[in-house]
């Protein structure tokens, strides 16, 4: 089984032609005979646009496509409760797939701020997130 993994396409932030990028990605998957493609988040800044991207890609290839949401995908048109549910047939959060020699576990994950020098200062971590990181709308 041939597996491909991609992440952080940020097609809207990068202001690229989505249809062109989807076509290029589909062509790559077909040329390389990829059986399964996992998208590890941050396709767009809008969950519905990410779903649209995944559906377009699926329509152009025979490759099985699954995805999880990155922090950018979570910014618009989805709630936390929805993210924790089975939103879409290709949405892979809280699921697993057993392959012959390994298991793929889908989990949107979250940042572990315990590695931060400010971990013991929650107010400092919150200030940093609100000022410098896209997570601020997610709080």
Same domain, 19 and 47: yes
What is the per-residue pLDDT for 111? 65
Distance CA 139, CA 132 (A): 14
Same domain, 101 and 41: yes
Q: What is the pTM of this model?
A: 0.82
Same domain, 98 and 137: no
Same domain, 59 and 122: no
Which residues span the domain enclosing 132? 112-139
Counted domains in the chain: 2
Same domain, 84 and 117: no
Residues 6+ apart with CB under 8 A from 46: 12, 73, 75, 76, 77
What is the per-residue pLDDT for 139? 43
Same domain, 44 and 80: yes
In contact, 45 and 18? CB cutoff 8 Å:
no
Same domain, 21 and 37: yes
Of the given ranges (27-31, 53-57, 125-129), which has the lowest mean pLDDT? 125-129
Same domain, 118 and 60: no
Q: Quick one: average pLDDT of 1-10?
A: 94
pLDDT in tens, 67-107: 999 988 988 999 989 999 999 999 999 999 998 888 999 99
Q: Write the Ramachandran bin of 109: left for phi over 0, alpha for psi from -120 to 50, otherwise beta.
A: left
pLDDT in tens, 23-43: 999 999 999 999 999 999 999
Same domain, 53 and 8: yes
Same domain, 80 and 139: no
Same domain, 73 and 126: no
Same domain, 100 and 122: no
């Amino acid at each position: 089984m041939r597996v491909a993994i991609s992440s952080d396409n940020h097609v809207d932030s990068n202001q690229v032609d989505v249809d062109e990028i989807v076509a290029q990605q589909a062509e790559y998957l077909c040329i390389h005979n990829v059986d399964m493609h996992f998208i590890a988040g941050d396709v767009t800044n809008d969950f519905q646009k990410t779903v649209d991207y995944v559906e377009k890609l699926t329509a152009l290839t025979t490759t099985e496509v699954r995805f999880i949401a990155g922090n950018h995908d979570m910014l618009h048109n989805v709630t936390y409760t929805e993210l924790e549910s089975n939103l879409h047939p290709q949405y892979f959060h809280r699921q697993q797939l057993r392959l012959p020699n390994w298991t793929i576990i889908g989990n949107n994950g979250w940042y572990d701020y315990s590695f931060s020098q400010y971990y013991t200062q929650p107010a400092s971590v919150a200030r940093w997130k609100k000022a410098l990181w896209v997570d601020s709308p997610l709080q």
